[in-house]
Chain A
């Protein structure tokens, strides 16, 4: 591992960790309703929104009411994005005169953006009008992220409250998430990105004369190139901050108008993990035991860092098939070395692998390099991070509440091992919490495995893969892993814009988002009604290295045991074959 790799990774992680505490405290104070600067300044706006929408911000909701509000709001979001796509031709801000989007693709895209997945079966610049991108997708980028954070805050309230039936007000949590956290951060980030060269315009695509004409696949001579433009910066900021990941352009963050410079790359990378990492601290702050927040963040890092190093190492080591061809794959002053296929020269190996790992650990799913072209192990890491259930940082809000399901299982087993019915933060973990956590663990696995199993036997679905051998299994598995865990990252190498994938992946996204949110809210409601048991010598501390390691083991073992067989037939065997075993 070269010094360069270590320095880059260290800088990235250090900056990230420095933001955790201030951002964490800021967010906690926002949800606790304590003065935190912006919420004093914008308080009239918040009040005005409630008056306009006739929301009584003081009214608490039971978990069921909260869940109904979440569902109503999200279903309306899905419907509106669908309609926008179907009628974009008649709507303003369509300088390229994009036609209406096909129903299955519109369904897929609506599901994708409402569920914070941002799987993109469409190519942005060739399918959607500026109006659809802004009013449909960018709005969903904000509110789907806000929904995730709101649900998390409701769950945290479940831990804090003693014998209370309500878990907060969804509308208040939603408004505060957008108004005080997502909007201000996005505004700052988009301005900085514009300074780096990210475009922000309503003008139609530009055209440029080619210096040398070329022939396309049909044999026609091509003399000019269309350069896609649009209101990019505003969408990119929230795309990273809200762990959405849906790019303005088809090639996502490898496009020079989305991610032009190493600095923009670093900032976007930070934005991917920023809120999810900060929320760990918010959690610790709100439960009045900051060690609990650090413990979970540490558990995430314990999984994240080795995965990152394996990915970097695997890419840097290069392709063994090239060794026989006497191709130099070593790092030198003139080349980054390693496997550069599908990577941008301006990012190199480390920043590509770092992005791949961060965007799949968090349920961001944006890419600045093509995962399909990674080495088998390098590609295995992002896929496996997704399959772990999007709990290593995960989506904003959803990553941490997903982690709570694992914490509940870890607390349960470790509680039994010391001879005490389990408790977490003083709340007894009983049958009801166990049932709900079981659902949360099971649903994403079910979506991924059943989806992939069906796809590999359907001729229509099999025809969509572009590569033969074990790699093709990886491509299909990656697609369903991504949708079934609300990541949205694409391995590529799969022509997924067809009826089967649009519908199947759309359903997977829906189930793995809402069938997790509802049981999670149920847990919040149940915990909120319970007493808090005082800590004693007989209580397992949940902030110690021992517990952190145990939690990590539970996450890894559940993920490894479920997916080992299929991974063995995909990337693992591909790796072994490539190494000539």
Chain B
């Protein structure tokens, strides 16, 4: 997990108090019925409590003290299970309370006309509707989610992200979305509100962390079915046991039939209460771990899908390489001197605010002494880069047109103008591409002046992460606008499995669709509006919080840190969630073996003394044997709460070795542990002379 986040302690006193109270409130049958396993325990507890009352007012089937002890521990079993759920919810609730503070009612300045400087009226933020236009300035709190339509401002989003560094929000482009509850630090914005009250990002986030919107995920439902069928089988095995016991007593001519109290005790011990009780907590805790990683998942389904991802689509820039490619050399075409190439390159980059553009200006100045000029002095018109033209440049007042861009885009451009693309330059371009750098061709009208070499720098440590992913069976695909040669070189340097070069929104969408048609689950990150279609198509789509509203709406997770490598962490959290469920299921069922050896001889020894041979734990008395099994069954829930909340240990490895390890720990461990535990409890009960 990322080091930047503070790990919350598992048990906080402020959470435990309310959680205990809540776990008693949750004994309400209406709540318990949602969980088959625990509902059966509830019915059992009620039944034995009734039998205890009968035992004190008249003759009971067992000594009243024994029935009371069993009943109490059955109630504890329920309370312990509820406690795990309350504790998991409590952690979310604490976070939600913090978020709510950000949602205090603010006065919004509602503009009467959608432009800066228009008159405004003050209205309560709760009265705002979708489509309203508001004005915010230094010190104001942004009243609702919206899109900037005018202005630039620095915004403190720490209320949502926990990150104190301010972010820039401006109209147009990919940084136009603002979130209600965040604060303007400087300058002003005109915002169009994009959501109705109660539907804002903050509202959704609160609901999510509180678990109010929690629905069972498909996998959780499938597991619940499996647990229900185990419960049903054991219910059948114990209920019919009454009839077998009565028959055995009559045919053996000795002893008394098994009592209802013992049957209920046996039933509760056999049904998978450990996993049944902890199942809700595991789900909530999974979401909680996402939140702690500063990722908001729109649904639990998305978290679960994350564990299944086969393919990760990662943008090259900012994820695999450091964002800024640096211009390192100018290589002119034969017959063009290097200064004029540098000059043209610099002019075309003056208005280009991208890091690459700036690095060209810097290189031209440092190496060739070309001083900075102001674009307005030149009476020039800046032609911005678009995904379709894949070129940018300037049209100068004197009729000069300078373009720079990808080789094939420039080639097409000069050919349209009747020029030709020098063959020898193609060789240079190829060699630059092969080395993993990006060639940027500069042309003045139909004359190709030369190439700028932009060098990509692969992030440190990223290669090792991809090796881990490969070991987990996840394929990584690099998405880049670069040409195939450049892409191949960088993909190889970063150790990726595949790449999509010269990506456009259409090719990205097609790639995802093709992979899904082949049965793969695809995850990707995105921030721009042009990512939205691909995000909507991907199975796990992480939108950057700095991204546009469209991207956020298309994704099913939002990364508040806006860190594209977070995807790897998300996959791990998803896997951990499933692994915790699987391991505890195995543990729970493996536990049953020892419980049979505790309860069966105890229950039937009066009919068949020979069955005493099955009492391999040498438990003291039948009563202490049964009670010990029930106590162990309850206590193990409490003991496993930390594991349920934290998740089982995850390490990247192939499926077989993970399965082997977890089977050894939770399967074999699940068989042995209760033998020891029940024996210990029996020894304590005996020493205390309780039974």
Contact = CB atoms under 8 A, between A and B. Distances in A.
Interface of A: 409, 412-421, 426, 429-431, 434-435, 438, 441-442, 445-446, 449-450, 452-454, 456-457, 462, 468-470, 472-473, 531-534, 536-541, 544, 546-547, 550, 553, 557-558, 560-566, 568-569, 572-573, 576-577, 581
A426 B519 contact: yes
B225 interface: yes
Given A469-B252, A534-B520, A550-B663, A434 B592 contact: no
B395 to A, nearest CB: 51
Interface in B269-314: 270, 304, 307-308, 310
Given A534-B518, A540-B659, A565-B244, 9 more contacts: A416-B579, A418-B578, A421-B304, A449-B237, A473-B244, A473-B251, A547-B659, A565-B600, A566-B237
Interface in B566-599: 574-579, 581-583, 585-586, 589-590, 592-593, 596
A125 B283 CA distance: 63
28 contacts: A412-B223, A416-B223, A419-B574, A419-B577, A419-B578, A421-B218, A421-B307, A438-B226, A456-B244, A470-B251, A473-B248, A473-B251, A533-B519, A537-B470, A538-B472, A538-B473, A538-B654, A540-B656, A540-B659, A547-B659, A550-B663, A558-B233, A561-B233, A562-B234, A569-B245, A573-B608, A576-B608, A576-B614
B581 A418 contact: no
A421 B581 CA distance: 11
Contact of B219 (A414, A421, A450): A421
A357 B246 CA distance: 31
Given A413-B585, A532-B519, A419 B579 contact: yes
Contact of B236 (A412, A446, A560): A446
Contacts of B427: none
Contact of B226 (A434, A541, A566, A576): A434
Contacts of A413: 226, 582, 585-586
Interface string B650-691: 100011101110110011000000000000000000000000
Given A419-B307, A421-B578, A441 B248 contact: no
A457 B240 CA distance: 11
Interface of B: 218-219, 221-223, 225-226, 228-229, 232-234, 236-248, 251-252, 266, 270, 304, 307-308, 310, 470-475, 517-520, 574-579, 581-583, 585-586, 589-590, 592-593, 596, 600, 604, 607-608, 610-614, 650, 654-656, 658-660, 662-663, 666-667
B222 A420 contact: no
Nearest to B582: A416
B658 A418 contact: yes
Nearest to B252: A469
A431 B658 contact: no
Contacts of B251: 468-470, 472-473
A474 to B, nearest CB: 11
Contacts of A573: 604, 608, 610-611
Contacts of A453: 239-240, 242-244
A569 B472 CA distance: 48
Contacts, number: 218
Contacts of A449: 236-237, 240
B271 to A, nearest CB: 11
A457 B244 CA distance: 8
A44 B241 CA distance: 57
Contacts of A417: 579, 582-583, 586, 658-659, 662-663, 666
B516 to A, nearest CB: 9
B248 A470 contact: yes
A562 B252 CA distance: 23
A483 to B, nearest CB: 16
The listed residue with most B CB atoms (<10 A of its CB), out of A413, A416, A531, A581, is: A416
B240 A452 contact: yes
What 4 pairs across the A-B complex have the smallest Cβ distances?
A538-B473, A416-B582, A419-B575, A537-B473
Contacts of A469: 251-252
A235 B450 CA distance: 92
A559 to B, nearest CB: 11
Contact of B310 (A414, A538, A540, A572): A538
B588 to A, nearest CB: 11
A409 B229 CA distance: 11
A412 B221 contact: no
B519 A450 contact: no
A427 to B, nearest CB: 9
Contacts of A581: 610, 612-613
Contacts of A547: 659
A277 B555 CA distance: 50
B600 A564 contact: yes
B245 to A, nearest CB: 7
A534 B611 CA distance: 52
The listed residue with most B CB atoms (<10 A of its CB), out of A417, A456, A473, is: A417
Contacts of A415: 578, 582
A564 B229 CA distance: 17
A569 B248 contact: yes
A581 B605 CA distance: 12
B589 A539 contact: no
Contacts of A536: 310, 473-475
Contacts of B667: 553
Given A561-B234, A573-B608, A431 B244 contact: no
Given A420-B575, A470-B248, A538-B472, A438 B240 contact: no
Contacts of A430: 218, 222
B473 A416 contact: no
A431 B604 CA distance: 39
Contacts of B245: 569
A225 B243 CA distance: 44
Contacts of B592: 557, 561
Given A421-B219, A561-B596, A414 B226 contact: no
Contacts of B593: 557, 560-561
Contacts of A563: 237
Contacts of A546: 656, 659-660, 663
Contacts of B663: 414, 417, 546, 550
A457 B250 CA distance: 10
Given A416-B223, A438-B226, A536-B475, A565 B238 contact: yes
A498 to B, nearest CB: 18
A448 B395 CA distance: 88
The listed residue with most B CB atoms (<10 A of its CB), out of A418, A564, A572, is: A418
